[in-house]
A and B are shown apart, each in its own frame.
Chain A
């Protein structure tokens, strides 16, 4: 717990640490929000391809300018990321190669070119080149205040456009054909969304790196999806999850030596996804399992009850006691299930005997009727 207190103190006192925490939080939030669109459009892996495709852009920008100015490099990344995204679209549209092949192809080929250029640059006499490989896994520690202002600026613009075209985007997500028939320019909307996703990825390169960037886009959105069915709520939750992963990841990696921030942020986000998968009330695996078991038990009880009814109806007096033993041969029952039936007031147990109550008889009869009507 001391660590945690330290950590909170550090956030407020240490300038660098505060800067980085704010940076990763903003980054996580914007990636989470835009990631919702990627996930819902089934373009989850587009982010992975784009982030890898950005690498040669960084290297070429450096080769041209010879300077390690962050915004120039990011501009190069932006151009090559957009190029990669466009090429993927054209491969899937114009050839018989499927989207998975196109994604994998662009991802690995662009990355290969990038690595070739990076290793080529590393052998150059230019002393300035050291540290270009921080874009591979990201180095949150190199975040400066002006980088964060850039992030916030881009985030605000993205959000404004998102709000402005909210209903168009929403429509496009869920029914692209209908959007087209209504007369909206879906090509423009598509380009806008894809560009935003590319921009979000480029912003994160410095912090999380090209290799793991896609996870920051996907994970918060996939987690948020489990908690709601409304797009607006999902975007907000994904933003919160993203920011949370950023801050926690930065904190954890700062407390330990030798931990790069990117992988830790990704792991925190993955843990959030895991928690959401298991514990989400409506879709989560845990509650689904609980509901499943409850249903199964109910069906078993109904089966026992129906069998009891079959026995009881041959007697004039429905409260005529029968021994529990005769249930055994035909229908599975346990002490627990009998106890439960008694608790619900459907049967009465008297020593080794049982008999149906009025209510139980009525329910069992209805149950039977329902079955008949269902079978018909």
Chain B
């Protein structure tokens, strides 16, 4: 690894962390799309800032662009408050308009601006190590590293200082305001942080992939845990992992680094989406399948309980009587046998004592909602887990 490669991976990782932290709160507050809006809408701010400063990493430009981001949030909320259109439409109207202005500004001044459209969409991570801070002839290292480093430090300080306030207002706005934390201040604070991060990350990964870095790690983490701290750590971990592996993917394919990072994030999300232990597709499908069989089992046991006559409980008769498919009846029968709930004597099915207790408890739970009796059953059966 050359030092340039290390620097690129470092910048990408820091950017990913800086994006993932506000991303977690945006996802939890159901405002994920505001990051999409901000990342597009800051373009005119960046272009105008560039005209003034002629330096992509100047603090003036970052402040100007961040102000544009906050302006976007204000505009969206203003339009929403007029009641003329719904919130999502307001977002969808504002950011393409601002983004168009930005694109036109760039196109009209192509000669003065070293920004081009590709840089807007993809960032210029590959060149970041060569744009260095030189002061009095001393080289202080790459500019992008300084920019994203200071943004990240600010985010971390704010996160640690206001963790409980942010947590509270994210999960219970009512209680937070009753306790005297202004929801408006926290809201706009978060929006400011999101704007500043977006601007800082914009240079590295471009307008649209900022959104990937913000939302994807948080969403992936959210599928795995519902604990805020764990979610933050997981999101940061996913961000770092995809930045580094994304870099090497891009290196091997000779393609865009930002695109590769997003691709890795996408693969990560897909894997978690399919295989997450609790909310993954496969485990959800398994759970639903089990619940279905268990409902059938209960129906079957009830049938046995209600019919004392032998002919009603004859194994061949059951099939036609309850009107199930053969494979289905077999599954249910097997499950019941495995749990020692029924016994078969000369092709006549009968409930065992355990089966009788189980059925009694289940009925009590369903009709009277008595919870205590089923605590034991919950461990073995999905049915009673709500």
Interface residues in chain A, defined as those with a beta carbon under 8 Å from any beta carbon in chain B: 39, 42-45, 47-48, 52, 91, 94-98, 100-105, 107-120, 123, 133, 136-137, 211-212, 214-215, 218-219, 222, 225-226, 256, 258-260, 262-264, 266-267, 270, 273, 277, 283, 285
Asked if A214 meets B82 with Cβ closer than 8 Å, knowing A105-B269, A108-B216, the reply is no
Asked if A211 meets B262 with Cβ closer than 8 Å, knowing A39-B89, A109-B212, A264-B100, the reply is no
Contacts of A91 in B (CB 8 A): 273
What is the distance, in angstroms, from B37's C-beta to the closest C-beta of chain A? Answer: 9
Contacts of A105 in B (CB 8 A): 32, 215-216, 219, 269
What is the distance, in angstroms, from B337's C-beta to the closest C-beta of chain A? Answer: 33
What is the distance, in angstroms, from B13's C-beta to the closest C-beta of chain A? Answer: 17
Q: Are A112 and B258 in contact (CB under 8 A)?
A: yes
Interface residues in chain B, defined as those with a beta carbon under 8 Å from any beta carbon in chain A: 27, 30-33, 35-36, 40, 79, 82, 84-86, 88-89, 91-93, 96-97, 99-101, 103-104, 107-108, 110, 117-118, 121-122, 208-209, 211-212, 214-216, 218-219, 222-223, 249-250, 253-256, 258-263, 265-266, 269, 273, 279, 281, 284
Contacts of B91 in A (CB 8 A): 44-45
Contacts of A226 in B (CB 8 A): 84
**CA A364 to CA B281, docked complex, whole Å:** 70
Contacts of B281 in A (CB 8 A): 94
User: 12 interchain pairs (CB within 8 A)?
Assistant: A48-B36, A91-B273, A95-B223, A98-B27, A103-B32, A104-B214, A113-B266, A115-B121, A115-B259, A118-B259, A260-B103, A263-B100
**CA A256 to CA B105, docked complex, whole Å:** 13
Q: From the candidates B84, B219, B266, name the one contacting A97 in the complex (CB within 8 A).
A: B219
Residue of B121, B122, B249, B254 contacting most chain A CB atoms (<10 Å): B121
**CA A313 to CA B209, docked complex, whole Å:** 74
**CA A285 to CA B78, docked complex, whole Å:** 12
Q: Are B88 and A110 in contact (CB under 8 A)?
A: no
**CA A101 to CA B208, docked complex, whole Å:** 14
Rank and list the top 6 A-B pairs by shortest CB-CB distance, nearest first.
A112-B262, A116-B259, A215-B96, A108-B212, A263-B100, A115-B259
Q: From the candidates A45, A111, A212, A260, name the one contacting B262 in the complex (CB within 8 A).
A: A111
Q: Is the interface of B mostly helix, strand, loop or mixed?
A: helix
Residue of A42, A97, A110, A267 contacting most chain B CB atoms (<10 Å): A97
Asked if A44 meets B216 with Cβ closer than 8 Å, knowing A109-B262, A116-B255, the reply is no
**CA A270 to CA B249, docked complex, whole Å:** 40
Q: Are B211 and A104 in contact (CB under 8 A)?
A: yes
Q: Are A44 and B88 in contact (CB under 8 A)?
A: yes
Supply 14 further A-B pairs (C-beta < 8 A) apart from A113-B259, A116-B263, A270-B96. Answer: A43-B88, A45-B88, A47-B92, A91-B273, A97-B27, A105-B215, A108-B211, A109-B266, A114-B259, A116-B259, A118-B259, A258-B107, A260-B104, A267-B97
Q: From the candidates A107, A115, A222, name the one contacting B85 in the complex (CB within 8 A).
A: A222
Asked if A107 meets B99 with Cβ closer than 8 Å, knowing A45-B91, A94-B284, the reply is no
Closest to B260 in A: A116
What is the distance, in angstroms, from A211's C-beta to the closest C-beta of chain B? Answer: 7
